[in-house]
Amino acid sequence: MEVVKQITAEQLEKIVNQQKDLQALLSNIGILESQKHSFLHQLGELNKAIEDFKGELEVQYGAININIEDGSYTEIEKPTEE
């Protein structure tokens, strides 16, 4: 009969706990990557909404720079051709 060789119970417990921690971290990374994807999608949508609204403002006011603190604006001068 062959004798079964084993590590200590404490060593086995440490390995099991480390594997649980590893799986939890990998799971959290997956969740964070999913959230990151969602945030990047939202960012893209917001950037598009910003650009669309800039276009609306340009149709109404022409090319302008807007002070976002008080709403005042200055016209952007187009370079003159010589």
Q: pTM of the entire structure?
A: 0.68
The 10 Å Cβ neighbour count of residue 73 is 13
d(CA 66, CA 44): 22
Tell me if 74 sits within 8 A of 66, measured CB to CB.
no
State the pLDDT at residue 69. 97
| pLDDT score, position 82 | 64
Is 18 strand, coil or helix? helix
In this predicted structure, the answer to whether residue 79 has a pLDDT above a threshold of 90 is: no
Residue 6 pLDDT > 70 = yes
Sign, CA dihedral 60-64-68-73, equals negative
Q: Is residue 80's pLDDT more than 80?
A: no
Q: Average of pLDDT values for 10-31? A: 98
- pLDDT at position 81, please? 73
